[in-house]
Structure 1
């Protein structure tokens, strides 16, 4: 091929060279939600239990309300904006904690199945099939009815949701990594199994596990919102997004702002995390073009 021909060949486009506009907006929303969650106690204008019965069901600014309550008030005169800020903090805390628990449990069991094989692998696969076949809502109802409800228990219970997905992914990737040369070489050098999996296998499969966690995060947010909507999640006086939606449904026709504010936060947050997860999958998966 001549130099002239080479000069006319256009360069190959860089795959995903820039962040799409929609993904950038999703990132900005996630950062904003994290900032609200971290600074909730500082930026909320009122306490979440502060009552003002004279200002019951005050509409938001622009719909007949005043700047004193930007998003209006609920049936007890509590400031909707303050409760929304704290609800975002609680819901994100639950979703983040549950996702970390599920990813940790699933990855650990997946590594155990890949390392020991035999009856250990069969036992883990049986647990995975049992978890996948068990309706999680029934399990949650049983645990909460028997042990009562508290925030640590609720986070731990939510952490049991979706761990089987991480276990399957970790097992398959760990088996593939063990078949490659670098794991066998480190093993021959005398490294312990714990060091092999934590220092060598895990960093090589971390990108896939992170994508899996970002895709399961919005599912946990929706599940927490659904359980709180049914009265099985976060209990008063604490509040969450699903809790606010549950209480606001009774005033949907008279005061829709009570319901719409947390509903919009749930939809936009889950959509943003899903968009980010899909983009990360496309970026980090070399098999996708």
Structure 2
């Protein structure tokens, strides 16, 4: 009878451990997969109207809670007979619009305040740093719940509210890099040639600090996606008949035991999207950071 060496069996890695090890060692492959997923998500967001097979509000009560796999409904249907795939494609578009708009707004607002603090110093710099400390200490999720509960939820308000998340990160980075760049020779020489402060900051300093700001945006983007999903899950984000990834998760939790595909489909998209952005962001940081070269 063959004997089994338990010590050797315990040391034998499982398939998942082997997969993780190979992914860590093969960085270009992992980053490539992340970029392909993000490209697919962007394509879906742009062409959602042409790709989705049904309208997101089209109901078929005779096909309520249909299982995935059918040719008519590849990802099944929800409690009202609406096609999960169609709603998922629209949810990707809405969540990406909110996350992209909020990230751009946060980066522009924070960078502008950081440059203002570096230019004027004194009271302006002190005020910006105090506001940044206040923003960092503020429980943003609780504030968002209060604002949305008081003023009601709308796409514009949601984007603006999410846009003020994380601006202090950009303000601190932009201020520090601008002060460092201003003390270097190229910025001082441009000032001596008669360039205005706006030209110095936006034509000379900003291109030199853009790489760091871009990496910060890749860190903020998944955080905003998760925050929007959390607010929609709680019922204070995107409101029906519109849909988002968090909105689908929120409505699908009531049918988790009977129709788990309603909740699992958007959950998987959220996980893969945030993971891909984090992987690509880490790769960009390594590529754009001269100290790691």
Is the structural similarity TM-score above 0.5?
Answer: yes
Residue in structure 2 matched with residue 195 of structure 1 by the alignment: 199
After the TM superposition, list the runs of 4 or more consecutive aligned residues in structure 1 that deviate by more than 6 angstroms: none
Which of the numbers 141, 144, 156 marks the counterpart of 1:140?
144
Does 1:46 pair with 2:54?
A: yes
- Deviation track 1:79-135 (CA, whole Å, cap 9, x = no partner) reads 000000000000000000000000000000000000100000000000000000000
Q: Verify: 1:205 aligned to 2:209, yes or no.
A: yes
**1:144 Cα deviation after fit:** 1.2
Normalising by structure 1, report the TM-score: 0.92
Deviation of 1:19 (Å):
6.6
- The Cα shift of 1:264 comes to 0.3
Question: Secondary structure at 1:287's aligned position in 2?
Answer: helix
Following superposition, the deviation at residue 148 of structure 1 comes to: 1.5
Moved more, 177-186 or 145-154: 145-154
Question: What is aligned with 2:29?
Answer: 21
Kindly indicate whether residue 45 of structure 2 is the aligned counterpart of residue 37 of structure 1: yes
Number of equivalences = 268
Which of the numbers 73, 81, 86 marks the counterpart of 1:82?
A: 86
Rounded Cα–Cα distance in structure 1 between residues aligned with 2:149 and 2:252: 24
| Cα distance in structure 2, aligned partners of 1:242 and 1:35 | 20
Paired with 1:37 and 1:19, the residues of 2 have a C-alpha distance of: 27
- Which consecutive unaligned segments of at least 5 residues does structure 1 have? 1-17
Output the CA distance in 2 between the equivalents of 1:149 and 1:267.
25
> What is the root-mean-square deviation in Å for CA atoms of aligned residues?
1.0
Listed as ranges, the matches of 1:116-127 within 5 Å are 116-127=120-131
Distance 2:83 2:218 in 1: 32
Bigger fraction of residues in helix:
2
The correspondence of residues 109-258 of structure 1 with structure 2, limited to 5 A, is 109-258=113-262
